[in-house]
Structure 1
Amino acid sequence: MREAAFIKQNKEKWLEFEQAIFGKAKKNPDELASLYIHLVNDLSYAQTYYTKSKTVTYLNHLAAITYQKIYKTKREEGNRFISFFKTEVPLIVYQYRRYVLYAFIMFFIFTGIGVLSAMNDGSFVRLILGDGYVNMTLENIENGNPVAVYKDGSNWGMWFYITLNNLRVGITSYVLGAFGGLGTGYVLLSNCIMLGSFQYFFYEHGVFWESVRGIWIHGSMEIFAMVIEAAAGLVLGASILFPKTYSRMASLKIGIKNSLKIVIGTMPFTIMAGILEGFITRYSPDMPNFLSVAIILVTLSLISFYFLIYPYLVYKNTHLKHVSTLQAA
């Protein structure tokens, strides 16, 4: 069957899905389940015969939204809070995985810009970080403790201030995604240029390894969460710029609901990064190498697994299980 004929044959059915999703046509869970079976069959057919078609993209997106609708109407077992982080957030991250990829590409490009700028302009680091901070860091380097700044203040005070600041930056990055993603891009650009120039500054003064041992104890979670928050901002911006088959308002509602859940999903990691920065990083100069490296690898592995690997595992498990349950019914 030609793709045009396939679309014409099933167009009304797909529109019925959209109406059910947005509540314009009330459907009980059984009716939604029946519609979902047909949708999965259409998606499988399209994936077989129209591999790179926009029809596949549309049906895949519609199937994900429909699944979430069915999943939401089911009686949930166990703790709602646990299921949110265990299932709901990973499924949404999987659905918008390409925006996570875009955010990481931007992160590496922007950080590279910071490194190259600091490498080719001796005054660039002072321009970005300020004379006061640079002079203080130079003094710390001369005293043999490049990351002594993390010893300032009390443990609890630093943790509280840093955590609030990181949450503020993440939320700002996300909210500014409403400007077509440009605001999110600007916040990510600013922070990545600062990160790249800051790390090159330590490299230039021969204390790169000491800075890595200190900064990345908390930075692995903090920076990773920042990138995921940027991805959420891009999702928000894309929902406005690219509504696909939905009205712009309906697309925006979906974008806000899903992207906000992604941001909430980063918050436990941001809080944990603040705890590490307030209570652990200050002791990094006195730690044995293996301990600081172990903390960095463990924290980086945890957040990487949750946002990069776990979403695929949850999607594969819940999607296939739900389809088989529906078919058995």
Structure 2
Amino acid sequence: MREVAFIKQNKEKWLEFEQAIFGKIQKNPDELASLYIHLVNDLAFAQTYYPRSKTVTYLNHIASLTYQQIYRTKREDTNRLKHFFITEVPLIVYSYRKYILYAFIFFIIFVATGTLSAANDADFVRLILGDEYVNMTLENIRKGNPVAVYKSGSNWGSAIGITLNNLKVGLMSFVLGFTGGIGTVWSLFQNSIMLGAFQYFFYEQKVFWASVRGIWIHGAMEIFAMVIEAGAGLILGASILFPKTYSRTESLKRGFKDGLKIVLATMPFTVAAGLLEGFVTRYSPDMPIVLNLVIILGTLSAISWYFLIYPFQVNKKIMGLHE
């Protein structure tokens, strides 16, 4: 069957799914489950015969939303918070995975730009980080503790202040998606350029490894969450620029709601990063190297698994329901 004929044959059924998902028509759980079975069958057919088609992307997204709708009503799913983190957010991340990929591509390019700029311009680091910070860090390096700045302030004071600031930055990156994503990209550019210049500065001073041992204890989750939040901002921007089959207003509502859920899912990691920065990073120079690596690799693995691997596992589980 040609794809055009396939779409024409099933278009009304798919529209019925959309109306049920967005509450425009009422369906009880059994009816919705029945519709869902038909939908995943259509998705399997499309994946087989039109694997690179936009039809597959569309059906996969609708299937994910329908799955959420069904399982939200199940009796055993009374814990809304558990459902949010275990099922809802991973499905949303999977549906918008290309925007998460775009955010990582931008991040890598911008960090490389900051690194190369610092390597080729002796004044670039001071321009980006400021003379006061550079001079203070040079003094700390001279004293043998490159990351001594993290010892300033009390444990709780530092943790709370840093966490609130990072939460604000993440939300701002998302909200800037209202600019069509331009503001989000600019925010990511600024932070990534700073990171590239920052790390090159320590490399140039021959204390790169010491900086990694300290900074990335909290930075693994903090930076990763920043990129995911930028991805959420790109989702919001795309919902305005590319409404697809929806009205622009409906597309914006969907983009805002889904993007915000992704940002909310980064917050536990951001809070954990703030606690690590306030309570653990300051002791990094005195830690055994093995403990440094366990914390850094452990935190990076946790957030990477949740946002990059687990969504595919959840989606695969859903797709297996119709087999």
Structure-2-length-normalised TM-score:
0.96
Which residue is equivalent to 2:133? 133
Task: Give the 4+ runs in structure 1 shifted more than 4 A.
Answer: none
Which residue is equivalent to 1:242? 242
Distance apart, 1:264 and its partner CA = 0.8
Distance apart, 1:288 and its partner CA = 1.7
Report sequence identity in percent. Answer: 73
Distance apart, 1:131 and its partner CA = 0.7
CA distance in structure 2 between the aligned counterparts of 1:177 and 1:4, rounded to whole angstroms: 34
Change (3 A) 1:14 1:73: same
Letter in 1 for 2:188: L
Task: For residues 21-52 of structure 1, give each alpha carbon's deviation from its aligned partner in whole angstroms, at most 9, with x where no partner exists.
Answer: 22222222222222222211222222222222
Which residue is equivalent to 1:185? 185
Partner SS state of residue 58, structure 1: helix
Which residue is equivalent to 1:233? 233
Q: How does 1:135-284 map to 2 (within 5 A)?
A: 135-284=135-284
CA distance in structure 2 between the aligned counterparts of 1:45 and 1:87, rounded to whole angstroms: 24
Distance apart, 1:318 and its partner CA = 4.1
CA distance in structure 1 between the aligned counterparts of 2:256 and 2:5, rounded to whole angstroms: 34
Which residue is equivalent to 1:44? 44
Distance apart, 1:68 and its partner CA = 2.0
| RMSD (CA atoms) | 1.4
Structure-1-length-normalised TM-score:
0.94
Which residue is equivalent to 2:105? 105
Which residue is equivalent to 2:59? 59
Task: For residues 94-138 of structure 1, give each alpha carbon's deviation from its aligned partner in whole angstroms, at most 9, with x where no partner exists.
Answer: 221111111111111110000011011111111111111111011
Is the CA contact (8 Å cut-off) linking 2:125 and 2:197 kept in structure 1?
A: yes
CA distance in structure 2 between the aligned counterparts of 1:306 and 1:52, rounded to whole angstroms: 26
Letter in 2 for 1:63: A
CA distance in structure 2 between the aligned counterparts of 1:238 and 1:24, rounded to whole angstroms: 24
Partner SS state of residue 20, structure 2: helix
Any stretches of 5+ residues in structure 2 without a counterpart?
Answer: none
Task: For residues 135-178 of structure 1, give each alpha carbon's deviation from its aligned partner in whole angstroms, at most 9, with x where no partner exists.
Answer: 10111111111100001111111111100111011110011011
Partner SS state of residue 26, structure 2: coil
Any stretches of 5+ residues in structure 1 without a counterpart?
Answer: 325-329
**Do residues 89 (structure 1) and 89 (structure 2) align?**
yes
Distance apart, 1:83 and its partner CA = 2.3
CA distance in structure 2 between the aligned counterparts of 1:2 and 1:309, rounded to whole angstroms: 34
Count of residue pairs brought into register by the alignment: 323
Q: Which moved more, 1:229-238 or 1:36-45?
A: 36-45
Partner SS state of residue 27, structure 2: coil
Which residue is equivalent to 1:285? 285
Change (3 A) 1:104 1:56: same
Task: For residues 231-254 of structure 1, give each alpha carbon's deviation from its aligned partner in whole angstroms, at most 9, with x where no partner exists.
Answer: 111111111111111111111111
CA distance in structure 1 between the aligned counterparts of 2:3 and 2:102, rounded to whole angstroms: 30
Distance apart, 1:66 and its partner CA = 2.0
**Do residues 79 (structure 1) and 79 (structure 2) align?**
yes
